[in-house]
Structure formats: C-alpha cells, structure tokens
Amino acid sequence: MKNILVTGGAGFIGSNFVIHMLDKYADYNIVVYDKLTYAGNLDNLLGVQNNPRYSFVRGDICDAQMVKDTCQEHDIDTIVNFAAETHVDRSIMDPDAFVKTSVYGTYVLLEATRELGLERFHQISTDEVYGHIPAGYSSKEGDPLEPRSPYAASKASADLMVNAYFVTYGLPVTITRGSNNIGPYQYPEKVVPLFATNAIDEEPLPVYGDGRQMREYQYVVDHCEAIDVVLHKGVLGEAYNIGTGEEMENMTMVEILLDAMQMPRDLIRHVADRPGHDRRYSLNIGKIKALGWQPRHTAEEAIIKTVHWYKDNEWWWRKIKSGEFKAYYQAQYGERLADAE
Ligand code: NAD
Ligand code: TYD
C-alpha cells in the first residue's frame, strides 16, 4: 500500500482520514477523488493542500472511465471508498442519488479494482445496515443485514456487492461498519453539529419524537484509526464493526451538549419523529479490538470535544448554514418546529 485513492475524501470522515494517513505514513501518497456534492468541502482539506503527497481530483465514482484514468495516472494500488450520500432524512425526501452513488458507484469502483488488479478495495459502511437492534443485543459482523431507511438500504446493497466480488472474483476486499461519528468538519445536517450550531445561535434543538433512541456516538479520529488498522491487519473478505460499545440515548447526548455549552435545556423541542426511525443501534466491537484497536474517547468526551470545535470554528460552518442548507432546513424542520410550538 503506497498510493491510495480516497473517494469521498472531501467529506467529513474522509477528510479526517486523509489528514490522519498523511500525518502517520511519511511514504504514502493520497489522491482524493470527490464529486463535491453539497456535503463535499475543500475547506476540510486546507491543512494538507500544500502537502506534495496529496492531490485532489473532482469526479463522480459513477464515471467508470474517469475512475480508471485517475487510478492509472496516479499509479493507485488501494481504494478506500467513503463516497456516499449520507443523511437519512435526505434519503427519505429523495432516495435517487443514494442508490446511484452507493449501489452503482460502488460497483464501478469494484470493477476498476478488478480490471486494474489493485491490491485492495476497502468499503466504508455503517452500523445502520443491521437495522433496529432490540435491547440487550449488539450486532456482530455475520448478522443478517436488515436496513430500514433508503440510506441504510443503499449502504447494505454496497456491502453485498463488495462481498459478491470477494466470493466470485477473489477480489481483495475489506469492509468496516462504523457507528455515528462526530467531530470536526461534519456537515451541520447531522444531529450533533446541528444542535451545537443551533445552540450557539440560541435556536431551538429539534429532537425527533421522545428522544429515547439510542446511538453509539464515536469520535471521528478513533474511527479513522480503526480503518487504518483494518487496512493493515484486516483479513480479506471480512467486515469489522467500529464503535465504542457504549450506547447513549439522544436525550442524554443533548443534555451533555447543552451543559458543555452552558446553554439552557429549554432550547429543546420535541418534534414529529422521522418515519421508520431506528430506535437502537449497538455494535459488538470484539473483532476489531482483537486486531489491537480500541477507542480513545468515550461518547461524552467525543460530544464535548466536538462542541468546542464548532464553537471555535464558526468560519467553517457559518458559510454552510447560510447556503443551500437554509432551504433544506426549512423543508425538513419548518412545519415540525411550527407544530411543536
Ligand atoms: P459526508 O456526507 O460528509 O461526505 C460524503 C462525501 O462523498 C462528500 O465529500 C461528497 O462530495 C462525496 N460524494 C458523494 N457522492 C459522490 C459521488 N457520486 N462520487 C464522488 N464523491 C461523492 O459523509 P461522511 O459522514 O463523511 O460519511 C463518509 C462515509 O462513511 C459514507 O460512506 C457513510 O455512509 C459512512 N459512515 C458515516 C457515518 C457517520 O456517522 N457520518 C457512520 C458510519 C459510516
Ligand atoms: P443523525 O445524525 O441524522 O444520524 P443517524 O440517523 O444516521 O443515526 O441522527 C442521530 C440521531 O439523532 C437519530 O436518532 C435521529 C436523531 N435526530 C434528531 O432527534 N433530530 C434531528 O434534527 C436529527 C438530524 C437527528
């Protein structure tokens, strides 16, 4: 592994991964290949833009010719695929791009890996592919995939295609399934950055339903370190869950967030729930721990660190919130918040 194509590398987790890898491995070259959708943001990569081992190509993973040309031009040996449409609420509003990018796009990348004989294809997946998990159980990698949102279904489809390429063509693949990431550069449609930036502006925090849904909030850099471990020590054809093993109700997350910001609880508004909202995700992380990795932040530490980053980096999120985000926010929350009052 020397020349890595990071697809979706201008997004939240991808950019954190690029920063981590360039910093840790002095002899790796990284090419970010990204369509720059509303969620892609070159501001995330400002810190590495002058690094001679980094380059950027604007492209769509559905464009087979461009993917192959880019791989050949940069002598790529490894693809790490972060590219996806990633927000569940947007997938409920309009699933089209989710299917195109995660299903067809992942297939295009697998074909390029096969045709060019690359060393490795790594797929970034999610705990949402397992669906709602009843209390008392934590998902294991061999469990059936039972996705329930268009987003989760698009990601599960990609996992199945990756597995099919391993079984059918012996492609050197691995998959990681991460829980909810939080940290620097997360687009403020996701709950923690949305709530942190709303709280800074003393705007209401729209909690879906009773807020008793459970998520495993993990710090994004911990997730990136685990992906790195799987790239170097993972067994081909295997999937690895990455989380904290620590589940938390959304209401607890909101209270930690508001307390860290010294903002009052009366900013909380319970609004109409998300259709098909998965109540609980929980990951068994024994398999990745056996490779020698463990998370360095608890969920509470991750929330507090994230909130401080948003407080200190208004330059990054203010321009996002004043752009296309406004129309999205109105469509997603306008009626909900009006009804909550
Ligand atoms: P993000 O929305 O912040 O970034 C996605 C990136 O992909 C953007 O830069 C976007 O421009 C790019 N992209 C989208 N469609 C593309 C296409 N067709 N071709 C090329 N680039 C394209 O997402 P994120 O939160 O960083 O998530 C990254 C990956 O991690 C996704 O695959 C997601 O499913 C997975 N994941 C996310 C979380 C989470 O909590 N955010 C948890 C587990 C797994
Ligand atoms: P989100 O960040 O969208 O991640 P995911 O749905 O992929 O887990 O949401 C995390 C949790 O927060 C989820 O249970 C839905 C809830 N949520 C709200 O209560 N209000 C919101 O405005 C958003 C965006 C999410």
Residue ranges of domains in the chain, CATH in brackets: 3-180+219-242 (3.40.50.720)
Predicted confidence at residue 217, as pLDDT, reads 98
Contact 220, 186 (CB under 8 A): yes
**C-alpha 60 – ligand 2 centre gap (Å):** 27
Catalytic residues: 127-128, 151
Residue 38 and residue 241: Cα distance in Å, rounded? 28
| pLDDT per position as a tens digit, 291-310 | 999 999 999 999 999 999 99
Distance CA 185, CA 65 (A): 30
User: Would you state the pLDDT for residue 323?
Assistant: 85
In this structure, what token pair is assigned to residue 74?
């940069």
Nearest listed ligand to the Cα of residue 60: 1
State which of 6, 32, 37, 218 you would mutate to test the pocket of ligand 1, scoring each by most atoms of that ligand within 8 A of its C-beta: 37
Residue 30 has a pLDDT of: 98
Per-residue pLDDT tens over the stretch 38-52: 999 999 999 999 999
pLDDT in tens, 257-277: 999 999 999 999 999 999 999
- Which residue owns the Cα nearest ligand 2 atom 24? 191
CA–centroid distance, 191 to ligand 2, in Å, is: 5
Tell me how far apart the alpha carbons of residues 204 and 211 are, in angstroms, rounded to a whole number. Answer: 15
- 277, with CB counted inside 10 A (0-12, 13-18, 19+), is middle
pLDDT at residue number 241: 98
Average pLDDT, the chain: 98
Give the per-residue pLDDT at 124.
99
Full DSSP string of 146-160: ---SHHHHHHHHHHH
Q: Whose CA is nearest to atom 32 of ligand 1?
A: 82
Question: Among 319, 310, 292, 285, which Cα is nearest to 182's?
Answer: 310
What parts of the chain have a pLDDT lower than 70?
341
Which residue's alpha carbon is nearest to atom 1 within ligand 1? Answer: 11
Among candidate residues 248, 268, 221, the one with its CA nearest the CA of residue 20: 221
DSSP state of 183: S
pLDDT of residue 341: 62
- For residue 221, what pLDDT is reported? 98
CA 320 – CA 324 distance, rounded (Å): 7
Residue 159 pLDDT: 98
Residue 193 Cβ inside 6 Å of ligand 1? The answer reads no
